[in-house]
Structure 1
Amino acid sequence: MSTEQSGGMNDNDRSITGFVMISHAVVHTYELSIPILMVIWLAEFGVGTAILGTAVAVGYGLFGIGALPAGVLVDRFGSRELVLVCLAGMGGSFLLLSIAQGVWSITLALCVWGIAASIYHPAGLSLISTGVEQRGTGFAYHGMAGNFGIAFGPLITAVLLLFFDWRVVTTLLVVPSVIAIAYAITASFDEKAAVRADGGTDTDDPDPDDGSPTSLSGFVADSRALFTFGFTIAILVVMMNGLFYRGTLTFLPDVLSDFLPDVADQLQLFDPDSPMAEEFDPASYLYAGLLMVGMAGQYVGGKLTDRIPTETGLIAIFGSLAVVAVLFVPAAEAGMTSLLLVSAVLGFLLFSLQPMYQATIAEYSPPGDRGLSYGYTYLGTFGIGAAGAAIAGYLLELTTVMGTFVGLAVFPALGAVLAVVLYRYGTRRV
């Protein structure tokens, strides 16, 4: 009886799952620690939100743009080695950040991070699909680990900043990648175990002329076949999510600080003249809490994909996000209780979108091109979506915080409209 039938993960499954879980958590730990550090960079380097937002958008953009070539490299060289390159590159980028002297060196370090991080999702998801026989369980644990990094990365960064200078903190943040690399080197697993268990073979190298996505002609042909009307609209939906996600989260710690009272001073948590009092920023902890609520959003959104048409879920969530974006500043100004409530709702809705659009992509793409379809998905979410950071930065300089949130509300509003179009005119392929 196979592990799929018996319902248990074998040793190979567990080894791969452990590897991708720690790697996925590290990727998102770095990704969401950057907005916390931006609050300090804005003050230390005397740059505006537009300039710093553009610099960060370049790094975040490479995080998505690199997904397509990374997918091709995974097919050529395997996942383990490329994930190791990813982890080493991300650790090295934070070492570069620790010696940054201005916005240009920050941009360079974040470019290194973006290129390295872009390797992970194609490599990690491919490794689960080819090596883990209990794929569903593997994907579930993989997603949970990513959520852990998303929620606790900013929290860990904020806590470290209480005790250390930001340059020391970025150096300490190299440690997670070192731990992940050490685990990968000692872990033993078969990348193709699930393929062989399903009756496939991995003994032959891919033929560069066989029309597969590993050749340029195959990539172009598969891409043309993939982009039906329904899939194109689905990718546009993904882009709207990415633009709002990155635009909202990038400057949120800095924005939240405008609405929060000086809790440390009121409660006399620290000596007013101590370094900890100077570094304590309650906005960073509210931001981390918002991301933790997002874990519940991921769970609920995933459950809903099995119960309602994903297009209906997208319409409801995008529409709700547009309303929350418009109401965010008035609610934040109304008092602490309403600020906490609107922040929790924002985090819940923002992350409930992810399983919904991931399931939608699956429904509008053929199984044989699923890897390529998710390559385009990450290009839209992290690549094009990275422009949201620059857009938010410019809006904050040109208008008020209220104007910025109203401007960003355009993206979920368009997402809801596109989801309606998809519901009415799209043709599913599974």
Structure 2
Amino acid sequence: MNGNDRSIVGLVTLAHGMVHTYELSIPIFVSIWLAEFDTLQLAGMEVAVTQATLGVIVTAGYALFGIGALPGGIVVDRVGSRRLIAACLFGMGGAFLLLGVAQNLLAVAVALLAWGAAASVYHPAGLTLISKGVTERGTGFAYHGIAGNLGIGLGQLVTATLLLVLDWTTVALVLAVPAGVAGLYALRAEFDETAGVENVAADGGGSEAGTGVDSFGEFAAASRHLFVGAFAVVFVIVMANGLFYRGVLTFLPNLLEGLPGFEPIALSAIAPGLDGGGTLNPERYFYAGLLLVGVAGQYVGGKLTDRLPPEYGIAATFATLAVLALAFLPVAALGIGPLLVFGALFGVTLFTPQPLYQAAVADHTPAETRGLSYGYTYLGGFGVGALGGALAGAILTYADAGTLFATLAGIALVASAFAVVLIHRERRAGDATEA
């Protein structure tokens, strides 16, 4: 990679890691908010705070994270990636500053909405910057993906560790600082945003090279064209993946609290010299570890795309996730040792579909609307998928954890079934071509 490539990759890996650090720190705070807030004051009404209530609030922030991706892809073509990435970083930092001074759950909700709006523009901006500015584009995307998963895992570990010695509002304030520093770096970093454009043009356009539409009429026509083809099937798979992902992760730390082996441990019992009544919460570290092993899942999914059509990998992976979801609680009942091993397998499998469905999008969309295709992909995965948090909260409030995991298994089976539909569609197309 040349100097321009390294400068761009340095920025996008930093920003991508931060986006997912903030994204997955939120579920760690959820269990604290459940204990701290009893009611939500809204428009003169008083609403009791339950898992369902928090599920809706968290879902709203996550939904904006996805919904904003589509307009973000349009804006990046007008203002450039650097400024949009900087705005994303400053916006996320400001949102966590607001979270750090929140005195009630309504302020928390506003902060989460602000975070979702700010974070939503990152993926179209970052992916466009790599596709247009990096000459070794494949390597750039590889580092970008790894950074995202490291942010997902290590960010939660940092959050959980800070919570050992600080209250949650102080932790939110501390977390706000790196985003502000990274935003300043984004404004000062030197690189050419279009240095790789000739490379992109030479191979017919990159998979994240832009929407290729210049008016609302073209946008509407291209969208209609996408959704009458195989992309409509892929879009259902992407939505199911988002629902499963949010559904299992939003309340996972809270679910683990009540399991054998996850009882809080007083810091004084580990280090007798430590006072202050602090406790170590094992579920937060299990959660961080599960997310961190997702790096291996990304690697496995990427390797699978090199060895077989992605729809086969999607079908197999989601069928496996359905089995794992049904097995989660029975394995947890066996004790913390078996659950640690199971959690590693679950974490790897959870992140394996991402490179598979990204490859499926590329396989089943025309190059000239590839950017638009990925905009819809993030809208489906992060926007519609955000409803998984509200669904999980409602089920845990009005039913139980067994019902939640059974529902998640059903969602995974839907994704697997639609992948099978895609396989049969491809076989029919191949038979027609041979005839």
Q: TM-score, normalized by length of structure 1?
A: 0.92
Measure, in 1, the Cα distance between the counterparts of 2:106 and 2:163: 23
**What is the RMSD computed on CA atoms of the aligned residues?**
1.9
Whether 2:35 is the aligned partner of 1:43: answer yes
Alignment correspondent of 1:24: 16
Whether 2:348 is the aligned partner of 1:348: answer yes
Alignment correspondent of 2:265: 264
Q: 1:198 to 1:250 in 2, by over 3 A?
A: closer
Alignment correspondent of 2:157: 155
Instruction: Report the residue type matching 1:302 in the other structure.
Output: G
The farther-off stretch of 84-93 and 224-233 is 224-233
Instruction: Report the residue type matching 1:155 in the other structure.
Output: L
Q: 1:400 to 1:199 in 2, by over 3 A?
A: closer
The farther-off stretch of 62-71 and 172-181 is 172-181
Q: How many residue pairs align between the two structures? A: 409
Alpha-carbon distance, 1:344 to partner? 1.4
Deviation readout 1:177-200 (Å, 9 max, x if unpaired): 122113212210111111145678
Matches within 5 A, 1:125-136: 125-136=127-138
Deviation readout 1:339-393 (Å, 9 max, x if unpaired): 1122112111110111111111110111111111000000010000000000000
Instruction: Report the residue type matching 1:287 in the other structure.
Output: Y
The farther-off stretch of 295-304 and 265-274 is 265-274
**Structure 2, unaligned stretches of length 5 or more?**
39-48, 203-210, 431-435
Instruction: Report the residue type matching 2:339 in the other structure.
Output: L
Alignment correspondent of 2:207: none
Instruction: Report the residue type matching 1:175 in the other structure.
Output: V
Alignment correspondent of 2:302: 302
Kept after mapping to 2: 8 A contact 1:91/1:178: yes
Kept after mapping to 2: 8 A contact 1:64/1:380: yes
Measure, in 2, the Cα distance between the counterparts of 1:409 and 1:351: 16
Measure, in 2, the Cα distance between the counterparts of 1:35 and 1:424: 38
The farther-off stretch of 339-348 and 81-90 is 339-348
Q: 1:181 aligns with which of 175, 180, 183?
A: 183
Give the 3-state SS of the residue equivalent to 1:174 in structure 2: helix
Instruction: Report the residue type matching 2:248 in the other structure.
Output: T
Alignment correspondent of 1:61: 63
Q: 1:305 to 1:198 in 2, by over 3 A?
A: closer
Measure, in 2, the Cα distance between the counterparts of 1:336 and 1:199: 53
Alignment correspondent of 1:204: none
Measure, in 1, the Cα distance between the counterparts of 2:113 and 2:265: 36
Alpha-carbon distance, 1:103 to partner? 2.2
Measure, in 2, the Cα distance between the counterparts of 1:323 and 1:130: 41
Q: 1:259 to 1:270 in 2, by over 3 A?
A: farther
Alpha-carbon distance, 1:84 to partner? 0.8
Measure, in 1, the Cα distance between the counterparts of 2:351 and 2:286: 16
Matches within 5 A, 1:316-335: 316-335=316-335
Alignment correspondent of 2:215: 215
Q: 1:290 to 1:199 in 2, by over 3 A?
A: closer
Alignment correspondent of 2:339: 339
Measure, in 2, the Cα distance between the counterparts of 1:362 and 1:15: 27
Alpha-carbon distance, 1:153 to partner? 1.1
Measure, in 2, the Cα distance between the counterparts of 1:15 and 1:93: 27
Kept after mapping to 1: 8 A contact 2:55/2:393: yes
Give the 3-state SS of the residue equivalent to 2:181 in structure 1: helix
Q: 1:58 to 1:266 in 2, by over 3 A?
A: closer
Alpha-carbon distance, 1:166 to partner? 0.8
Measure, in 1, the Cα distance between the counterparts of 2:117 and 2:364: 28
Q: TM-score, normalized by length of structure 2?
A: 0.91
Alpha-carbon distance, 1:263 to partner? 6.3
Alignment correspondent of 1:165: 167
Could you tell me the percent identity over the aligned residues? 52
Measure, in 2, the Cα distance between the counterparts of 1:198 and 1:109: 38
Give the 3-state SS of the residue equivalent to 2:196 in structure 1: helix
Matches within 5 A, 1:349-364: 349-364=349-364
Measure, in 2, the Cα distance between the counterparts of 1:94 and 1:170: 6
Give the 3-state SS of the residue equivalent to 2:365 in structure 1: coil
Give the 3-state SS of the residue equivalent to 2:135 in structure 1: coil
Alignment correspondent of 2:229: 229
Kept after mapping to 2: 8 A contact 1:240/1:415: yes
Measure, in 2, the Cα distance between the counterparts of 1:241 and 1:272: 46
Instruction: Report the residue type matching 2:336 in the other structure.
Output: M
Instruction: Report the residue type matching 1:268 in the other structure.
Output: A
Kept after mapping to 1: 8 A contact 2:16/2:147: yes
Instruction: Report the residue type matching 1:12 in the other structure.
Output: N
Kept after mapping to 1: 8 A contact 2:64/2:116: yes
Alignment correspondent of 1:277: 278
Measure, in 2, the Cα distance between the counterparts of 1:296 and 1:25: 16
Kept after mapping to 2: 8 A contact 1:270/1:276: no
Alignment correspondent of 1:207: none
Alpha-carbon distance, 1:239 to partner? 0.5
Measure, in 1, the Cα distance between the counterparts of 2:320 and 2:212: 41
Alignment correspondent of 1:4: none
Kept after mapping to 1: 8 A contact 2:319/2:412: yes
Measure, in 2, the Cα distance between the counterparts of 1:340 and 1:276: 27
Instruction: Report the residue type matching 2:381 in the other structure.
Output: T
The farther-off stretch of 378-387 and 407-416 is 407-416
Alpha-carbon distance, 1:104 to partner? 1.6
Alignment correspondent of 2:44: none
